[in-house]
A and B are shown apart, each in its own frame.
Chain A
Amino acid sequence: MSAKKESKNPAETAVKEKRQVAAKLVPIYIMGKRYEVPEGLTIMKAMEYAGYKFIRGCGCRGGTCGACGTVYRKPGDYKLQVALACQKTVEPDMYMAQIPFFPANRAQYKFADLTSAPEEVFKLYPELFRCVACNACTKACPQGIEVMDAISALKQGNIAEAARLSFDCIQCGLCTSRCFGELAQYHMFQLARRIYGAKILPRAEHLAEMVRTINEGRYDQILDELKHVKGDELKKLYQEREAEPMPAGEDWKPKDTKYL
């Protein structure tokens, strides 16, 4: 970039300096075509800089929705790398393609009719047993999940372990795209997590107890009273309310113990 004539305005100078610093460009290859994009951009921003408009393959832009799964490779290396376009910063010479959606098998089921037995997974996804433990799925996961181990847990009938191992799954589908046995790992994991959460994980007893207490009317009177408090008086009540102090010990009690 050629130097522009000095400006007397410090704000303008600062902006110009910022622009000059961020001007370093790196080459990347999007679907085979070469572009030069500012270093420091995420793949997604870089593609938009290059003129691509995302109508699919883009979602939360926050690393959680799994829409922007990307496969790329660097020169001199035969290995394929994976990343999320919205999270990964571009690297010079990266050669990439996107996998926004993979038509993985999703079994039809009525969740309410399922039990917590591992056989439910065997019935809905019998192709689970085609896994040959090749580990291509683990290598393809942008979240670092041990996909092969989680599938192994499912085969062994351990739904809880499969749910635990697949916790970070964002359903991007990259595992399925590389699977030798044609399994839809992320759909199987979702089923496992659903069964685990709804049918295996113990319920919080104190929560049920609290709901029961509320329904029995314990707080009806005070709620009624509050409903009739208006405007400034309500604000005053709120601002002067007693709050549990941050480092409160086990035996801290509020002044008014009527509702304990």
Chain B
Amino acid sequence: MSVTISPKRLRREFVRKVKELSGQNLQSCYQCGMCSGNCPAASNMDLSPRQIIELARLGLEEEIANSKTMWICASCLACTVNCPRGFDLSKVMEAIRLLTLRKNIDQIRPEDISPQDRSELPQIAMVSGLRKFTG
């Protein structure tokens, strides 16, 4: 995919917030791709985890906002434990998710889950799902 990188497109506020919420130094990623390789959900994602970090670093908020990647992430932490730089990607993904959820933009409504599913799902599925997809 081609992306235009320019100081005009760098959303500094976005980068600052991501760093603050995740506590991670985005500069430490050297784009080796171990995260994408280990991610079990990568095949369903439009942008790979590695690409998300690069876009975050460059402040390209729009590309990230249009991506489905962070909503497909299951927080399994495979990326985090395999990163050679000790960088915690799961926290960066969470930060990016929260920046949307905290604007009161939910990704799922409980009423959209069918009553059958609501009845059959283990409670931890509802609790964790509502935590990750609603603010």
Name A's B-contacting residues (CB within 8 A): 117, 119-120, 122-123, 126-127, 129-130, 155-157
Closest residue of B by beta carbon distance from A132: B131
Q: Pick the contact of A126 from B110, B120, B131 — CB < 8 Å?
A: B110
* Chain B minimum-CB-distance residue to A129: B126
- Is B72 in the interface zone, CB < 8 Å from A? no
Partner of B111, one of A120, A126, A129, A157: A126
Q: Is the CB of B119 within 8 A of A126?
A: no
Bound CA–CA A22/B4 (angstroms):
79
Contacts of A119 in B (CB 8 A): 118-120
Closest residue on chain B to residue A119 by CB atoms: B119
Residue of A with least CB distance to B116: A123
12 A-B pairs, CB-CB below 8 angstroms? Answer: A117-B119, A120-B119, A122-B123, A123-B115, A123-B119, A126-B111, A127-B130, A129-B110, A129-B123, A129-B130, A130-B134, A155-B127
Is the beta-carbon distance between A127 and B110 smaller than 8 angstroms? yes
Is there contact, CB below 8 Å, between A126 and B118?
yes
Interface centre among B115, B118, B134 (most CB of A within 10 A): B118
Count B interface residues, CB 8 Å. 14
Q: How far is the CA of A127 from the CA of B115 in the complex (A)?
A: 13
Q: How far is the CB of B110 from chain A (nearest CB, A)?
A: 4
Q: Closest approach, in angstroms, between the C-beta of B48 and any C-beta of chain A?
A: 31
A126 with B113: CB separation less than 8 A = yes
Query: Complex: how many Å from CA A126 to CA B113?
Result: 9
Given contacts A122-B118, A123-B115, A129-B130, whether A155 and B110 have CB atoms under 8 Å apart is no
Cα distance, A126 to B115, chains bound together (Å): 9
Q: Tell me which residues across on chain A come within 8 A of B115, comparing CB atoms.
A: 123
Q: Which residues of B, 103-135, contact A by the 8 Å Cβ criterion?
A: 110-111, 113, 115, 118-121, 123, 126-127, 130-131, 134
* CA of A156 to CA of B127, assembled, Å: 12
Q: Complex formed: what's the CA distance from A157 to B126 in Å? A: 13
Residue pair A122, B130 in contact (C-beta under 8 Å) = no
| Assembly CA distance A127 to B111 (angstroms) | 9
| CB-based nearest B residue for A122 | B118
Per-position binary interface string of chain B over residues 42-71, scored 1 when its CB falls under 8 Å from any chain A CB and 0 otherwise: 000000000000000000000000000000
A81 to chain B minimum Cβ distance, whole angstroms, is: 29
Contact B111 A122 (CB under 8 A): no
Query: Is A129 within 8 A of B127, CB to CB?
Result: yes
CB distance from A46 to the nearest CB of B (A): 39
Q: How far is the CA of A230 from the CA of B15 in the complex (A)?
A: 94
Task: For the complex, give the distance between the alpha carbons of A106 and B28 in Å.
Answer: 50
Report how far A130 CA is from B118 CA in the complex, Å: 14
Q: Which residues of B contact A155 (CB under 8 A)?
A: 123, 127
Chain A residues in 8 Å Cβ range of B110:
126-127, 129
Partner of B130, one of A117, A130, A157: A130
* CA A206 to CA B115, docked complex, whole Å: 39
A117 neighbours in B (Cβ, 8 Å): 119
Give me the 4 closest cross-chain CB pairs, A-B, nearest first.
A126-B110, A129-B126, A119-B119, A129-B127
Could you tell me the distance in whole angstroms from the C-beta of A120 to the nearest C-beta in chain B? 8
CB-nearest residue of chain A to B111: A126
Chain A contacts for B127, CB-based, 8 A = 129, 155
Residues in A with CB closer than 8 Å to B118 are: 119, 122-123, 126
B119 and A122 contacting across the interface, CB-CB below 8 Å: yes
Smallest beta-carbon distance A100→chain B, Å: 26
Collect the chain A residues with CB atoms within 8 Å of residue B121's CB. 122
Query: Quick one: CB contact mask for B19-55 with A, threshold 8 Å, 1 for yes?
Result: 0000000000000000000000000000000000000
Interface centre among A117, A119, A126, A130 (most CB of B within 10 A): A126
> Given the complex of chains A and B, what is the CA–CA distance between A157 and B119 in angstroms?
11
Q: How far is the CA of A123 from the CA of B121 in the complex (A)?
A: 10
